[in-house]
Chain A
């Protein structure tokens, strides 16, 4: 089978006539003498769900940290809707439209579920400190809109009845969902999910798959996810990028990636049995 060109874009047909939401061009980062990511090229369509997979330590989360500018790239460019985000910091990147979740859950665990989402909606409100302290009409108006919006987002994930609970007291699966809701609250055009199904049981994972699709369909946004659960990746991703030792080793549709000998080798070693 012919392998795809690793630099060639891979965009679903419906998005091809629009500017891609994300373009990484020869992206790379060194930590001292160690090259963590090299020659990372990737293009993501407006409403694409894509997967970033690879063995542990391949540099997947590093890519996320580059995209959200937690790290500064050593080489290469990141274009968000054609705009270079090199000069931005994490906060500006978020405002520009990239939201993310974290591999190890980072909720505001001592605050309520609703407050967590309201913090995500921070930049959607624009009343100043004076209207807050004096409780001017602007405060009430914005707060009410934000509150309704938060409940609406929560109900998308069936969490509206948990609104007053402490985020830290939620079951694990619900915490992961809340992270997604909070990320969505910042009104992104690209959502990065770092291992959204980690620690979930098969039925929760199936529900999560449905939810991810639903999010894409409702908000018409692009989603890039890192995941080790191959059922989920193969089930919902339209394009998959496989990373090993910081380099892209394969790119393609789930079907292509699944049967790629290089990928199988990266995961299982040479001349291994092929379980899937």
Chain B
């Protein structure tokens, strides 16, 4: 029976996904260009994109690696400032935007290594506390330092202003896709399985010959890298950076997205990042009640689905297509049998 199960070959799967992603891009881009999507919605879409990257990358550290870091906004801040300063100094040309993103990501990843190596020796609450502390250190340092080595760079509490607004729908969309693709393919490899094995049982993972310290750090650093990339998108979208926007509450906000979507489910992170970013905007008409509605949504989900909306389910279009394909063929067979 198993042998009869029709499978879609890998190149076709990639082709289907690619075509769908491209179609979505073109449709939304067209809607933006002919002003069907108004400017305020356009900004909501951009911040959805940034939040998806943040949630998906945090999901790597919490959902897949099984740790609880609370300093994600710190990495985002590092990436945002690094790329903003770079872009401000070298000016905008075609290559500065990707360069700024990669630079922001790398600087955040270096901070990830510096924080991760000592912090990952701790577990659970203690890791949460040390990463929380790190996030606050970043914020306080950025708030109080306005020049570095005599160069006026970060402008402290007065905000870093006049950052070129380079973020648009196209590059946000591409970065979101790249983030999801990289984390997905990584998790489907031996490296990803090593990360999962640490979440499941660290002692058994070591007994299987998996370098747990290395893979913990790797998961943490990749997570920090994409937080930095998200930060650089954020900088290019707002045009202004203030340390207070990278506080503890920002980290919690991202964590809420991951938990609500389901820890260990990428599609869950994407959906809940979308919903939780769009919801406050959609409920703007109800003014103060929107905060109540937001909290209520969280409470309801946590009561009725404590593992998050998606649990650990991961969406695969090809799997669904395969199921449909096989359903059809088996139904076809049945009717054939009846006919004969």
Residues of A within 8 A of B (CB): 68, 70, 90-91, 94-95, 99-100, 102, 106-111, 115, 118-123, 125, 127, 129, 132-135, 139, 142-143, 146, 161, 182-183, 185-186
Beyond known contacts A133-B186, A143-B190: 17 more, CB 8 A cutoff: A91-B210, A91-B212, A100-B207, A106-B203, A107-B201, A107-B204, A108-B196, A108-B201, A108-B204, A110-B200, A111-B200, A115-B196, A119-B193, A122-B210, A132-B185, A133-B185, A142-B190
Q: Is the CB of A125 within 8 A of B207?
A: no
Partner of B182, one of A109, A111, A133: A133
Shortest B31–chain A CB gap in Å is 32
Q: Which residues of B contact A142 (CB under 8 A)?
A: 190
Shortest A26–chain B CB gap in Å is 25
| Chain A to chain B contacts (Cβ below 8 Å), 9 pairs | A91-B206, A99-B208, A102-B204, A106-B201, A108-B205, A119-B196, A122-B193, A129-B186, A185-B208
Per-residue interface assignment for chain B, residues 163 to 206, with 1 indicating a CB less than 8 Å from any chain A CB and 0 otherwise: 00000000000000000001001101111111011001101111
Q: Rank and list the top 7 A-B pairs by shortest CB-CB distance, nearest first.
A: A132-B189, A108-B200, A94-B209, A106-B204, A90-B206, A119-B197, A106-B201
Most buried by A among B192, B193, B197, B207: B207
Q: Is the CB of A129 within 8 A of B208?
A: no
Partner of B207, one of A94, A111, A118: A94
Q: Which residues of B contact A106 (CB under 8 A)?
A: 201, 203-204, 207
Question: Which single residue of chain B is at the shortest CB-CB distance from A161?
Answer: B2
Q: What is the interface of chain B mostly: helix, strand, loop, or mixed?
A: helix
A122 to B197, CA, bound (A): 11
Partner of A132, one of B2, B186, B206: B186
A161 to B1, CA, bound (A): 11
Query: In B184-241, which residues have CB < 8 Å from any A CB?
Result: 185-186, 188-194, 196-197, 200-201, 203-212, 218
Q: What is the interface of chain A mostly: helix, strand, loop, or mixed?
A: helix
Q: Is the CB of B193 within 8 A of A115?
A: yes
Shortest A200–chain B CB gap in Å is 20
Q: Is the CB of A127 within 8 A of B207?
A: no
Question: Which single residue of chain A is at the shortest CB-CB distance from B184?
Answer: A133
Most buried by A among B185, B189, B197, B210: B189
Question: Which single residue of chain A is at the shortest CB-CB distance from B187?
Answer: A132
Q: Is the CB of A182 within 8 A of B190?
A: no
Q: Is the CB of B201 within 8 A of A123?
A: no
Q: Is the CB of A127 within 8 A of B190?
A: yes
Q: Is the CB of A111 within 8 A of B203?
A: no
A88 to B172, CA, bound (A): 47
Contacts A106-B201, A109-B200, A122-B194; is A186 near B189 (CB within 8 Å)? no
Q: Is the CB of B209 within 8 A of A95?
A: yes
Q: Which residues of B contact A186 (CB under 8 A)?
A: 208-209
Shortest B10–chain A CB gap in Å is 8
Q: Is the CB of A122 within 8 A of B209?
A: yes
